[in-house]
Amino acid sequence: MSCHTPPNKKSKVKYDNEINIALAGNPNVGKSVIFNQLTGLSQTVGNWPGKTVERMEGHLEFLGYHFNLVDLPGIYSLSTFSLEEIVSREYIVSDEVDLIINVVDVTNLERNLFLTLQLLELKVPLIIAFNQMDLLRKRKRDLDFKKLKQFFDCPVVPIVAVHGVGVHKLLEESIFLVENRNKCVPSPDLTSFGKEIEDKINIIIEELNNLSDFESKSQYPARFLAIKLLENDDNLINYVEKLLNFPVINKIKSLRNELEELHGEDINTIISSEIYNNIIKVTEKVLIEKEVEGIKGKNFADIVDHLTTHSIWGYFILIMVLLGIYLFTFTIGNYLGDLLNNSYSMWTAQVYELFPDTNLLVKILWDGAMGGFIGAVSGVLVYVIPFFFTIELLQDSGYLPRAAFMMDKIMHVLGVHGKTVITMVLGFGCNVPACAGCRIMETEREKKISIALTSLIPCAAVMTVVMGLVGRYVGLGWVLVLFIINFGTILIVGRILNKTMPGACTELIMEMHAYRTPNYKVIFKQTWVRSKEFIFRALPIIIILGIILEVLFLFRVLEPVNLILSPITVFWLGLPAVTGIFLIYGILRKELTLVLLAIFAENIGLTITQLLNPFQMITFSLVTMLYIPCFATIIIIAKQTSWKYAIQISFLEISLALLIGGIVNFSFLLFTIF
Amino acid sequence: MHGRHRRHRLIQQDTKKYVPLLKCLTDCEKGEQLEVVEIQAGYRAKQRLAHLGVFPGTKIIKKKSAPWNGPLEIIVRGTSLVIGRGLANKIMVLCKDNCIS
């Protein structure tokens, strides 16, 4: 093993029979399929410490060994393009990893090997899994594994992940590799660059090795560092300067400039093209029976691809798909939700028969905790699960990139990519899964803007309020006006965020892999893993909040709130003071604003029309639409980004709602005066 | 390899066979076989493209473009890549075959 591996690691493996594996590979190569095949349901989703990148972890026992598997995010390179790349390379060189399984999609060999060759430079024990061998053979091609083994000099395993072929061979090879501590010495053809570049790299390596404590201090091998320093990798330049006190910038800058001048290209292009040259040297030799392209006729996947990106049919299918998701999610969600709510009211009647009405504890526990739980399950969870299912289905089959391809131009008006259209349409159902879905965005900036816009989409609960108040008592025309105001706000917020958010709107660069039959096992498992996360993370918080609000309500603590809020509600928005408390409750679940309003009106013997005039109804609905994402959404936003950003969004939306609500209120006032 | 040098040579060679046609990726027709000559984009976009195997000298095929001046789909190294129109505008290509001028 390489020099940077601490010596105590061997003993740890021996004693505990524990093997820590990281799965690395490009996006969409079947990494999660392998991960699912191996770990079953024993997986957990978390975040990398201090980062918003998802960390999938799972465990299994095999041949007396305990395997800890970490599914690294899908990446194309080990540079600093995205947070995922930095997280991955830091994890790979850390002491936590014994070996890496690099999953390679053989139908896209060249691009996949780009990452492999960089992983080789990290000098960590490596197993290469060549996935989708069945597809390759269907295309009348094959790989020469003998030659592959000669090139890479590390275990190369042909697998068909969807059918589980060869997957356990990976574990056997892992055990063998860890037991024998085999070194991976790839052929020099594979990793060496042109002479002029090698010279520069060697100069840097020499400088690094001259440092007295380089071997003990650096986690990265000298050659990897040298290449990255030459590539102007600011993250590693920082690392080298801070950790090793090695002032590099000027020295390496001149080396880099020399190279760039010589080649007439920038350094990234030079290094990348060298790596691709090496890759071609391999693929030329290992790909056998290369059939001339274009001979085979159009298959089903090609026809679907053609239709779904067609200038007319494409949009028709897109609308159908979005409508389908919406209907699927809501038919199932509404059915289950109603079922649960009905049972809950039945149980409530029984509970209050058993216990006297005045029992405070019962009220807190039943109305607060149980009510909060049922509310969260029937109002959110029943929509979250079917929605996650559909999104996994679309992602696995390969439709998502097509939808993004078709909608990219239109969504650019809002300053986001085409992919946002999916989360935004889903936002009409429930903002919670929609905001969680924003993880499909590539960059942090994209994700943040998409989340902000998605959280402004009127969800089913908001629709209930708007339809139940304005639609019922004022007229459908005004509902339309409210929606226009809502979408206008989204447009403006999109524009503003796009201007103010640091960084430029990155252009779409996205791989569009061929359609494939979705793997239902994977989809069900992924759906469960994602839902599990919601159940155990967000649900408890919602329930606790339900209890707190119930306690506050029972002890009439919230009544002064109406007084405190009255300058805003009464003066600025022109609403009755009592609405203040309803709006507070609405943070928990938005339809509560209307439900509580109706209950309140009933309690004091008035109808809603007597309590609110049409103008007030419009203002009240408008404020409910915009004023804040509901609590579950805020939690999801915080999980996807940070609490700071979730609070920022909340404040932004509160101020927007107040601004627009005030404008509407005062224009009504003017209207009634004149 | 000498990027500038090689590019120059390529253009000269092509002059003998076809009409040399240096143009923007967005101006090309569907199905044209092209060679990337220059990417006039920013550092990060260029870096990303390079990692995905698109840099001067790479042979690509323009597969299709999304309606209403949307993004483009190209075939590079046997697989599809979607590139936003703004970026595609900055990719200069040389027509290799099937040129429609």
Q: What element of type H or E holds A45? A: strand A43-47
Tokens of residue A616, six digits: 């007030």
User: DSSP string covering A441-490, please?
Assistant: -SSHHHHHHHHHHHTTS--HHHHHHHIIIIIHHT-HHHHHHHHHHHHHHH
> Comparing C-alpha atoms, which of B28, B53, B23 is closest to residue B40?
B23
Provide the pLDDT for residue A651: 92
Residue B98 pLDDT > 60: no
- Residues B46, B54: contact at Cβ < 8 Å? no
Report which of residues A361 and A496 the model is more confident about.
Answer: A496
CA distance A273 to chain B (A): 7
Residue A567 pLDDT > 70: yes
- Residues A76, B77: contact at Cβ < 8 Å? no
Mean pLDDT of B37-66: 87
Buried b / exposed e across A337-358, counting CB within 10 Å, b at 16+? beebeeebeeeeeebeeeeeee
Nearest CA in chain A to B80: A512
Residue A569 pLDDT > 60: yes
Mean pLDDT of A637-643: 86
Confidence of residue A650 (pLDDT cuts 50, 70, 90): very high
Provide the pLDDT for residue A324: 84
Averaged pLDDT score across all residues of chain A? 81
State whether A265 and B49 contact (CB < 8 Å).
Answer: no
User: DSSP string covering A102-127, please?
Assistant: EEEEGGGHHHHHHHHHHHHHTT--EE
| CA pseudo-torsion sign A457, A486, A407, B45 | negative
Angstrom distance (rounded) from CA A306 to CA A313 = 9
- Longest CA pairwise span in chain B (Å): 40
Q: What is the ipTM of this complex?
A: 0.79
Which of chain B's residues have a Cβ under 8 Å away from the Cβ of A107?
Answer: 78-79
Which of chain A's residues have a Cβ under 8 Å away from the Cβ of B51?
Answer: 76-77, 79, 81, 114, 268, 272
Confidence of residue A1 (pLDDT cuts 50, 70, 90): very low
- Starting at the edge strand found earlier in the chain, the sheet holding B91-97 runs A509-511, B79-83, B72-76, B59-65, B33-39, B91-97, B22-24
Confidence of residue A13 (pLDDT cuts 50, 70, 90): very low
State whether B53 and A404 contact (CB < 8 Å).
Answer: no
Residue A186 pLDDT > 80: no
Mean pLDDT of A404-429: 80
DSSP class of residue A17 equals T
Mean pLDDT of A607-630: 86
Residue A297 pLDDT > 70: no
Angstrom distance (rounded) from CA A188 to CA A151 = 9
pLDDT tens, residue by residue, A436-489: 878 777 778 888 899 999 999 888 778 778 877 888 788 888 888 998 999 999
> Comparing C-alpha atoms, which of A233, A284, A228, A276 is closest to residue A117?
A276
Nearest CA in chain B to A416: B84
Nearest CA in chain B to A306: B64
Nearest CA in chain A to B38: A265
- Residues A69, A38: contact at Cβ < 8 Å? yes
Tokens of residue A99, six digits: 């070996």
Place of tokens 């969800």: A459
pLDDT tens, residue by residue, A592-608: 788 777 777 777 777 77
Residue A61 pLDDT > 90: no
Interface test with A, best of B51, B61, B92 (most A CBs within 10 A): B51
Which of chain A's residues have a Cβ under 8 Å away from the Cβ of B42?
Answer: 504
Cα separations (Å) of B46 from A118, A270, B8, B90? 19, 11, 21, 10
Task: Give the lowest-confidence range in A63-67, A292-296, A359-363.
Answer: A292-296
- Longest CA pairwise span in chain A (Å): 90
Which of chain A's residues have a Cβ under 8 Å away from the Cβ of B85?
Answer: 409, 507
Give the pairing of strands A54-62 and B91-97.
Answer: unpaired
Angstrom distance (rounded) from CA A513 to CA A111 = 12
Report which of residues A182 and A120 the model is more confident about.
Answer: A120
Confidence of residue B15 (pLDDT cuts 50, 70, 90): very low
Confidence of residue A239 (pLDDT cuts 50, 70, 90): confident
State whether A506 and B44 contact (CB < 8 Å).
Answer: yes
Provide the pLDDT for residue A579: 85
pTM of the model: 0.79
- Residues A623, A583: contact at Cβ < 8 Å? yes
Give the E-state strand segments of B1-101 in sequence order.
22-24, 33-39, 59-65, 72-76, 79-83, 91-97
Residue B101 pLDDT > 60: no
Report which of residues A256 and A139 the model is more confident about.
Answer: A256
Averaged pLDDT score across all residues of chain B? 77
pLDDT tens, residue by residue, A268-278: 888 999 999 88
State whether B52 and A76 contact (CB < 8 Å).
Answer: yes
Report which of residues A1 and A542 the model is more confident about.
Answer: A542
pLDDT tens, residue by residue, A502-556: 776 677 788 888 888 887 877 888 788 777 777 776 677 767 777 777 777 777 7
**pLDDT above 70 covers what percent of chain A?**
91
Nearest CA in chain A to B1: A263
- Residues A418, A607: contact at Cβ < 8 Å? no
Closest Cβ opposite residue B3 in set A264, A268, A513: A264
